[in-house]
Every structure is written in C-alpha cells, then in structure tokens.
Amino acid sequence: MWRKNPPNPTSAADASRSGEPRRIRRTDASPVRTREKLALLEQRISELEARNNSVADLQSPPAIPPIDKAE
C-alpha cells in the first residue's frame, strides 16, 4: 500500500536515494548564534578587503618585449 508521506531517511545513502538533502547534526555544545556568525563574516570580509587592497597596490612586472624574427 502506498503511503502519503515516505519515511525520513536515516542514513546518507537513504538520503541520496530519496533526493532529500542530508541532514547535518550539530555535535558542539554551544552553537554559534546568528549575530556571532554575522560578526565573524563581517570581520572576514574586512580582512579580505584589506588584503585585496594591498595586492592592488603592487605593480605588475614589466612586459617582455617581443622578439623580432628578422634579427
């Protein structure tokens, strides 16, 4: 007999067969709160922007002049 709601997958293999995304269980005792996540992301963005700006300040090496085949 066909059920309306199929059972929830219990393993990763069952989840991949059913097409449902895998459920990740959190094992840490203190989950990171949304505001803490946001603060960490903002800090990381600032670090990446600072690094990107310092790389942009570097000049590219001079181009190698083409070799004339006539010489």
Let me know if 5 is exposed, middle or buried by CB neighbors in 10 A (0-12, 13-18, 19+).
exposed
Q: Residues 4-60: pLDDT tens digits?
A: 665 555 555 555 566 776 766 665 555 678 989 999 999 999 999 888 877 666 667
User: What are the φ/ψ torsions at residue 15 (nearest 5 degrees)?
Assistant: -65, -40
**Sign of the C-alpha dihedral computed for residues 24, 30, 37 and 35 taken in this order:** positive
- Token pair 């670090």 is found at 47
